[in-house]
C-alpha cells in the first residue's frame, strides 16, 4: 500500500451529512487508504490509549520498583499491558497500512490478554495478591480495558474496508 501520505483535511464542523457515496468512492480511489487511523474517531482512541499507556506504565514502574516481590506476576503483566498500549498508541499516531496492521494485531493481543487475565483472576485469585490493569476484565478501570480493544478492532477494520477516513465520517 501507499506508505506515507499527508493527513486529510479535517472535516468542516458543519459538514455532517456530506458523506455521500461519491465522497466514499473518491476516497477509496485515492492513494491514501488508511492515513486516517489517528483522525476522527481515531483521535478519541489515541487519547484513550495514551491515557492507558501512561496509567499502566507508571503503575507498573512504581510497583516493580518498590515491591516486586509481593506480586511479581501481576506487576509483570501490568508492564506487558503498558507495552501493548504504548505500541498501539504509536501505531495509531503514525498511520499508514503497516501501522494499521500492527495495531490490529496488538488489539487482538490486548483483547486476548484482557480475557485471559480476567478469567485467570476469577478462577485463581491466589495467583494475584495485587490487581493488574486487566484483573476481573478491567473492572477497576470501568471495564475500559475490555471495551477499548473491541472498539479498536472495529475501527481499524472499518478504516480498511471503507478505504479511508472520509467514508467513516461520523
Smallest separation, CB 41 to other proteins (Å): 6
Q: Which of 2, 44, 108, 154 binds other proteins (CB under 8 A)?
A: 44
Q: Are 132 and 81 in contact (CB under 8 A)?
A: yes
For residues 30 and 114, give the distance between their C-alpha atoms in angstroms, rounded to a whole number.
37
Smallest separation, CB 16 to other proteins (Å): 5
x/- track of binding to other proteins for residues 71-110 (CB under 8 A):
----------------------------------------
Smallest separation, CB 40 to other proteins (Å): 5
Residue 97 grid cell: 497500512
Q: Are 5 and 93 in contact (CB under 8 A)?
A: no
For residues 22 and 12, give the distance between their C-alpha atoms in angstroms, rounded to a whole number.
17
Applying CB under 8 A, which part among 24-32, 38-46, 74-82, 113-121 lies near other proteins? 38-46
Bin 124: left if φ > 0, else alpha if -120 < ψ < 50, else beta.
beta
Binding site for other proteins (CB under 8 A): 10-11, 13, 16, 39-44, 46-48, 51, 54, 58, 62, 142, 170
Amino acid at each position: 500500500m501507499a506508505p506515507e501520505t499527508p493527513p486529510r483535511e479535517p472535516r468542516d464542523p458543519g459538514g455532517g451529512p456530506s458523506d455521500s457515496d461519491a465522497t466514499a468512492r473518491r476516497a477509496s480511489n485515492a492513494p491514501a487508504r488508511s492515513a486516517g487511523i489517528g483522525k476522527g474517531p481515531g483521535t478519541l482512541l489515541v487519547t484513550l490509549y495514551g491515557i492507558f499507556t501512561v496509567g499502566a506504565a507508571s503503575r507498573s514502574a512504581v510497583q516493580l520498583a518498590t515491591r516486586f516481590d509481593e506480586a511479581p506476576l501481576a506487576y509483570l503483566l501490568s508492564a506487558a499491558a503498558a507495552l501493548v498500549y504504548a505500541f498501539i498508541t504509536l501505531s495509531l499516531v503514525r498511520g499508514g497500512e503497516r501501522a494499521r496492521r500492527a495495531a490490529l494485531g496488538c488489539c487482538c493481543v490486548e483483547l486476548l490478554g484482557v480475557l485471559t487475565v480476567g478469567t485467570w483472576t476469577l478462577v485463581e485469585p491466589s495467583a494475584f495478591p495485587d490487581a493488574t490493569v486487566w484483573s476481573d476484565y478491567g473492572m477497576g478501570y470501568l471495564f475500559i480495558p475490555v471495551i477499548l480493544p473491541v472498539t479498536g478492532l472495529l475501527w481499524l477494520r472499518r478504516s480498511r474496508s471503507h478505504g479511508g477516513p472520509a467514508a467513516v465520517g461520523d
